[in-house]
A and B are shown apart, each in its own frame.
Chain A
Amino acid sequence: MVDLLSSMTLLQIIELGPDTVKVFRQYEQITGSCLLCNNLFDSLESVASQYSLKVDDFINSLQTSNE
């Protein structure tokens, strides 16, 4: 999978790597909200900010999901 950027939307990320859906589902346990329902068109950066997540950890988790 290509390198993910914090400026990418969740939709762009799952298009690039369908396996990232599993990671978003895991994060939903932390956020308590369906990210792929409510934030599909938001950037990873803004989602991380909204839910006080570390964006670098978020990217790493997504990046490794397809490897």
Chain B
Amino acid sequence: MIRTIDARGLTCPQPVILTKRVMDEKSGEEIVTLVDNPTSLENVCKLASSQGYTFVVETQGLEQHIHMTRQDSDISTEMIPTKDMTILVKSQYFGQGDDELGAVLIKSFFYTLTEMGPELQNLIFMNGGVHLTTEGSPVLEHLQFLEQKGVQILSCGTCLDFFSKKDQLKVGQVTNMYTATEILFNASKTLVL
């Protein structure tokens, strides 16, 4: 699809502003700006270069048509995030130093996860991390939301047994070390908390 901007009769900076507005939409389409004076031609070409576009100027009578394409225009499909990220959660706290702070940060982290894109595929909870998937967890609603969005939530069975919480699991399924390790090995992106 070609986006055409008719900037004929307009003086600088209008042709540049109009062209940049379309570029900022990042649609990856070809843009054609029509201008009819040398200053606008020069400035739109400068803009194209500065924004990473390649351009060809076609002269038609007193007008110039500047055809602009971005070399990475195919990137719009290539950059769609793949759903292949796994997060391993080893504690009910975020980081070390102060547990009270860690509890605040972990809530903030899981809330933020609910606002993020679709990359996340697996959440694996080990050791004290299983306190987050069981009764009384401060992040249960965020985890349930993520599960509804298709994120697989797995809690270590051995850990649940250790903390006597196997019957208190409120989100996701129980897993074992073999499955968890296999998921971690196959994930192209892994984050460990």
Binding site for B on A (CB under 8 A): 10-11, 14-15, 21, 34, 36-38, 40-41
Contacts and interface: CB of A to CB of B under 8 A. Distances in A.
Interface in B138-170: none
11 contacts: A10-B13, A11-B13, A11-B16, A11-B17, A14-B13, A15-B17, A15-B20, A34-B12, A37-B11, A37-B13, A40-B12
B73 interface: no
B43 interface: yes
Contacts, number: 30
Interface residues on B, range: 10 to 19
Q: Binding site of A, secondary structure by majority: helix, strand, loop or mixed? A: helix
B12 A14 contact: no
Contacts of B50: 41
A11 B18 CA distance: 12
Contact of B17 (A14, A37, A38, A41): A14
